[in-house]
């Protein structure tokens, strides 16, 4: 395996772990919202959940991009 391919694999794995961590954090905030909260607490938690989901989407995009072959031409 060449160094570039190894780096892409390591980066992809890193983002998969980061995505899993962010999903767990998001679930913690959802659980937090299941208890009675003040409006400011609810707004802050919703904002944090939204930011976490943006980061998750970014990780998904990076993982998807890492899975695209360098060349799509089967004759190359």
Residue 49 forms part of a structural domain: yes
Neighbour tally for 52: CB within 10 Å: 19
Structurally, how many domains does the chain consist of? 1
Long-range CB contact pairs, 38-46, < 8 A, 24+: none
pLDDT digits (tens, 9 = 90+) for 21-61: 999 999 999 999 999 999 999 999 999 999 999 999 999 99
pLDDT for residue 22: 97
Best CA proximity match to 15, nearest among 52, 48, 54, 64: 64
Q: Which two tokens stand for residue 65?
A: 């991009």
Residue 42 forms part of a structural domain: yes
* Domain that includes residue 52, residue range: 18-64
What's the 3-state SS for 29-54?
HHHHHCCCCCHHHHHHHHHHHHHHHH
Least confident of 2-11, 35-44, 59-68: 2-11
If you average pLDDT over residues 64-70, what whole number do you get? 76
The model carries a pTM of 0.77
């Amino acid at each position: 395996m060449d160094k570039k391919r190894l780096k892409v694999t390591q980066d992809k794995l890193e983002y998969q772990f980061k995505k899993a961590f962010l999903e767990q954090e998001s679930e913690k905030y959802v659980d937090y919202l299941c208890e009675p909260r003040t409006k400011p607490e609810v707004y802050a938690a919703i904002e944090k959940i939204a930011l976490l989901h943006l980061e998750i989407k970014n990780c998904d995009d990076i993982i998807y991009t890492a899975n695209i072959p360098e060349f799509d031409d089967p004759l190359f």
